[in-house]
Structure 1
Amino acid sequence: MSHTMTDQRPTTDPPVPGSVFTHRRMPRWAPAAIAVIAVALGVAIGLAFDLSSHVQWGLIALALFVLGTYVTTALLEDRRQAKDRVATSLVWACFVLAVVPLYSLVETTFAKGVKDLDGRFLTHSMAGVLATDEGGGVYHAIIGTLEQVGLASLIAVPIGVLTAIYLVEYGRGKLALAVTFFVDVMTGIPSIVSGLFILAFWILVLGFSYSGFAGSLALVILMIPVVVRSTEEMLKLVPNELREASLALGVPKWRTILKVVLPTALGGITTGIMLAVARIAGETAPVLLLVFGNPMINNDPFNGAQSSLPFYIYEQYLLGTDQAYSRAWSAALVLIAFVMILNLVARGIARWKAPKTGR
């Protein structure tokens, strides 16, 4: 009996063009080249059609970049890769569209605000300074902002964090649904409404005077829902296995939350709190209604009118003189720096308190 043996050795023939073994790739430098060409064409089109706004030039360049990426990839590779690269290009285009206004805002504020920003501006108030006078400072507004935001944070952060803990760890039934509903409603409340509520209740009904603390109460209403929502989402990200492991060791639930859940979510909670602080630090309407403004230094937030950085900027802008405009831009730069410092401090605290993982 004879057996027919087949040759199982791999073939050494070159792959057929267009088969699955061949795949052309676009060179790595191609996206950069397409971007350069798109920018050049965008500038040329802007000049040819006399488009005065550079933003229009940039939008044309972005559209040409996405179109050029699709056409080039479809010719050199295939349509599936072209769609993938177009999606990636759209992500980068959206990133650029988000960053460019932010950069423009910071650059403009810095260029116009740094002129009058010096030690004297940071250590003097507006007492006795007229709208047309040079000089003056923002010291009284810095004190007002620090005290009002600090008081609001001392009240809103514990309430917001404890509410989020209740909703995530204990909340069941109609009470949890009601709390969630009211938090959602409070998230969309305009700042002027919170100011009017405190004005009607705290000042007109209870008879207290205008003060920094009255403004802080309005800021609390704006801050609590942001803290609750951000803390709630961070607590939900903590793996249930950590809770179960702690409870299996006999640790009480309250101690598990305090020693396991909160330290794990501390970084995100701190970031959410700083976002809430950044929001209320720039509010003007509650200050206009409740704090009332004061050109002089008032270190007592519970008695008498105060100023704040947003109110100071609004006040100087209304004066309408070149000197007032310069002071307004400098105060805006101080406010941006204040928020940036808060965020840096929050990141440092989050890294310091974050749970350490062993190797």
Structure 2
Amino acid sequence: MIANQSRALRRKAASWLFTSACLVATVIALTALLLILWSLVTQGVSAINLEIFTNDTPGAASQYVGGLRNAILGSIMMCGVAMLIAIGVGILAGTWLAEIGGNTPYGHAVRFLNDVLLSVPSILVGLFIYQLLVVPMNGFSGWAGAIALAILATPIVARTTEDILNLQPNSLREAGMALGASQFVTIRRVIWKAAGAGLLTGGLLGFARISGETAPLLLTSLNNQFLPEEWWNMLSGPTASVPVVMYNFALSPDDVWIKLAWGGALLVAAAVLGINVLGRWLAREKKM
């Protein structure tokens, strides 16, 4: 009897310690997040005005009231192209791993390489694209930056897709086959539809991964103080982006540049938050 009571007390003490440790860790993480958000909002909100969306980045010690128009457009184009590539390739790769060839030796090799790409330093991807595209093309470009970002986002989408599809019950596949549908039709009309929210989550995670990347863009798209005449042409030359402008301006002693860097950081955080909220809302509406 005494031994049972002692064992019960030890279990309660261990449970209390574990719960307390989890609570302390949660409080620390939330406190750090709140402090980051507080500094971001207090420092960046003063830079958010109409000029930040209508003017290009200013030069050093310039009296010109600058903005981030060229950087915002550059980031939208490069992230947009990168996500189109990443979602297309990532969903197809993840589907192949989950539904077709995941258990083959080739499938194990693909999964291993994908996991390696998940943790590869982003600057190595930038260096790879620099040698692959920038040097042969004799110049930096938005396309080089977009492809570098796509390489970073694709493994996340692929891994998330595989995990989500593996969670779908086999009864869905069996039901599709029983109705005479081919494997392709079953995947496209049944499995993908059932896993729609998870696939959307993979895309959101990929976008969150690349939205603030700076290192690969320094080696691929570089930067551009002005908005080119053919701003839609991503092959026209160096392309500005918000993360690179933030990096350059934050290191400057110029107060105007530092203010714009905080404004750019707030815009990136708001964009990631807004797209995640919109994605969750769309997924919820689809389920309803």
TM-score (norm 1): 0.73
Q: Distance in 2 between matches of 1:213 and 1:283?
A: 15
Contact 2:46-2:263 at 8 Å conserved across structures: yes
CA offset at residue 86 of structure 1? 3.0
Higher relative contact order (CA 8 A, sep 6+): 2
Partner SS, residue 150 of structure 1: helix
Correspondence for 1:325? 258
Q: Distance in 1 between matches of 2:248 and 2:173?
A: 52
2:178 aligns with one of 243, 248, 253: 248
1:288 aligns with one of 206, 209, 218: 218
Q: Distance in 2 between matches of 1:87 and 1:94?
A: 11
CA offset at residue 231 of structure 1? 1.0
Partner SS, residue 135 of structure 1: coil
Correspondence for 1:188? 119
Contact 1:112-1:326 at 8 Å conserved across structures: yes
Amino acid at match of 1:108: S
CA offset at residue 132 of structure 1? 5.6
CA offset at residue 79 of structure 1? 4.8
1:109 aligns with one of 3, 17, 40: 40
2:235 aligns with one of 281, 291, 302: 302
1:227 aligns with one of 157, 177, 187: 157
Q: How is 1:65-214 mapped onto 2 (pairs within 5 angstroms)?
A: 78-127=9-58, 129-131=59-61, 133=63, 135-171=65-101, 172-205=103-136, 207=137, 209-214=139-144
Runs of 4+ in 1 over 4 A off after TM superposition: none
TM-score (norm 2): 0.90
Contact 2:223-2:239 at 8 Å conserved across structures: yes
Contact 2:91-2:157 at 8 Å conserved across structures: yes
Q: Distance in 2 between matches of 1:199 and 1:189?
A: 16
Root-mean-square deviation (Å): 2.2
2:279 aligns with one of 327, 333, 346: 346
Count of equivalent residues: 281
CA offset at residue 134 of structure 1? 6.5
CA offset at residue 302 of structure 1? 2.1
Contact 2:60-2:254 at 8 Å conserved across structures: no
Higher helix share: 2
Amino acid at match of 1:257: I
Q: Distance in 1 between matches of 2:175 and 2:16?
A: 44
Describe the superposition over 1:303-350 as per-residue Cα deviations: whole angstroms up to 9, x where unpaired. Answer: 111111100101112322222211111111111111111111211222
CA offset at residue 131 of structure 1? 3.5
1:263 aligns with one of 193, 214, 218: 193
Q: Distance in 2 between matches of 1:168 and 1:334?
A: 36
Larger Rg, first or second structure (1 or 2): 1
Contact 2:222-2:239 at 8 Å conserved across structures: yes
Contact 2:40-2:265 at 8 Å conserved across structures: yes
Q: Distance in 2 between matches of 1:277 and 1:321?
A: 31
Aligned identity (percent) is 35
Q: Is 1:275 the equivalent of 2:205?
A: yes
Describe the superposition over 1:46-71 as per-residue Cα deviations: whole angstroms up to 9, x where unpaired. Answer: xxxxxxxxxxxxxxxxxxxxxxxxxx
**Structure 2: runs of 5 or more not aligned:** none
Amino acid at match of 2:33: L
Q: Higher mean Cα deviation, 99-108 or 172-181?
A: 172-181
CA offset at residue 175 of structure 1? 1.6
